[in-house]
Amino acid sequence: MDIENIKKEFPIFNNKVQNNDLVYLDSANSSQKPLVVIDRIYDFYTKEFSNVGRSVHYLAVAATNLYENTRTSVQKYINAKEKNEIVFTKGATEAINLVANTFGQKYLSKGDEVLLTELEHHSNYVPWHYLRKSKGVNIIFAETNEDGDISIESIEKKITEKTKIIALTHLSNVTGAILPIKEITKLAHSKNIPVLIDGCQSAPHMKLDMQDLDCDFYAISCHKMYGPTGLGILYAKKKWLEDLPPYQGGGGMINEVKKEDISYGNLPNKFEAGTMATAQVIAFDESIKFLNKIGIESLIKHENELLQYGEEILRKNNSVKLIGNPKNKGAVLSFTIDGIHPHDIATILDEDGVAIRAGHHCCQILHDKLGLSASARASLGVYNTKDDLDKLNASINNCKKIFSR
Ligand SMILES: Cc1ncc(COP(=O)(O)O)c(C=O)c1O
């Protein structure tokens, strides 16, 4: 892969950040955007703008076609069976809330169990907590092992007759653990339990195949996939979208509205109420083209090499403690340094132009389990190089020097 040329496609790297070249190691939080995506938003607003799915004038029809083209591109990218299984949302958070809310409304009652894992991001815990408060649903957590991993056995152990849905991450945004989702889904389905996957961290780094995974729901965050903010995707099997009640009510999601009653629109309109993030959806087509141009196999190879290299140099660095050693790992290097708070690490690294994240990464349950209040996290994207990781290591050493004074 020609990283230098790929990097040139991202205008952010043309700028200095506090007089430094930018070493961006925060893609698990949000990725940078290639120029094709930025330009597409500009072009759409300057030459092609209209709302979609409403008016019949030329611009409206053209914009609607573009919007639907992205849906088809997403369907192909994730190998969903049907285009109408793709619902646009404002983010993965909204996608998960949509499922928790509608599935919860129809299928969950007091004493039922929702099975999560200790690895979950708050976006895949808080929506279920609402159901605990409103309906008396119990939340059960499958436990991580000391490697920060979740085995199929740890899931199996927690399944009971009361388990009504399993909702879990594909790739942990803290330990980098890649969960055996296909096997977990198979196990769940053998007990008639549907499965929701939080695919936020896997979607930018792994080959996605909904028909092969066979999960019921899969949530994706477009801003982590070199796409615009304000956009997410819910993949859901058609049977669920047909079965579940609408999430939000408003224009665009109805069929007929009478004083006495309302009937809802066809799929996926039933779940896309109000004016959608039109420009973002249309620009996301460019993100998919960008990813397709690189090719998922090349991307995986590049990021695996980087991850191995990053682990190697950080393990050699005596004061760095890497978090998690899962069987299969992706794109994330979380760590602590004894005696230095992660926020201090991130602040000092920032002075060297190295952008990482510090905090609990919206995973407080996992940090509690690890006995940590926070950690530092370097995460990888397509534009990163071994040189970036060397700079990370050098900046960590600089940080240690400052704190030993
Ligand atoms: C694992 C995981 N789940 C969910 C989310 C939330 O995604 P979004 O920002 O699209 O709502 C994130 C984002 O940080 C994440 O890393």
End residue of a domain, out of 240, 263, 292: 292
Asked whether 26 lines ligand 1 (CB < 6 A), one says no
pLDDT tens-place string over residues 65-83: 999 999 999 999 999 999 9
* Probe target for ligand 1 pocket from 31, 202, 225, 362, with the most ligand atoms within 8 Å of CB: 362
pLDDT tens-place string over residues 333-385: 999 999 999 999 999 999 999 999 999 999 999 999 999 999 999 999 999 99
Residue nearest to atom 13 of ligand 1 (CA): 29
Q: What are phi and psi of 292, to 5 degrees?
A: -65, -35
Asked whether 97 lines ligand 1 (CB < 6 A), one says no
Residues 47 and 189 in one domain: yes
Domain holding 83, by residue range, is: 38-292
With b for 16 or more beta-carbon neighbours within 10 A and e for fewer, the 297-311 pattern comes to eebeebbeebbeebb
pLDDT at 1: 79
For residue 92, the CA-to-ligand 1 centroid distance in Å is 6
Q: Cα–Cα distance between 175 and 226 in angstroms, integer?
A: 22
CB 198 within 8 A of CB 179: no
CB 232 within 8 A of CB 222: yes
Q: Cα–Cα distance between 88 and 95 in angstroms, integer?
A: 8
Residues 326 and 257 in one domain: no
Residues 248 and 385 in one domain: no
| Residue 254 confidence (pLDDT) above 80 | yes
- Number of other CB atoms surrounding residue 255 within 10 Å: 11
pLDDT tens-place string over residues 186-234: 999 999 999 999 999 999 999 999 999 999 999 999 999 999 999 999 9
CB 294 within 8 A of CB 382: yes
Measured N-to-C along each axis, helices 342-351 and 386-404 cross at an angle, to the nearest 10 degrees, of: 120
Asked whether 201 lines ligand 1 (CB < 6 A), one says yes
For residue 121, the CA-to-ligand 1 centroid distance in Å is 7
| Residue 157 confidence (pLDDT) above 80 | yes
0.85 cut: is pTM over it?
A: yes
Pairing of strands 375-379, 357-359: antiparallel
Atom of ligand 1 nearest to the CA of 361: 14
CATH number at residue 99: 3.40.640.10
| Residue 263 confidence (pLDDT) above 80 | yes
For the chain, what percent of residues have pLDDT higher than 70? 100
Asked whether 204 lines ligand 1 (CB < 6 A), one says no
pLDDT at 404: 85
pLDDT at 141: 98
Number of domains making up the chain: 2
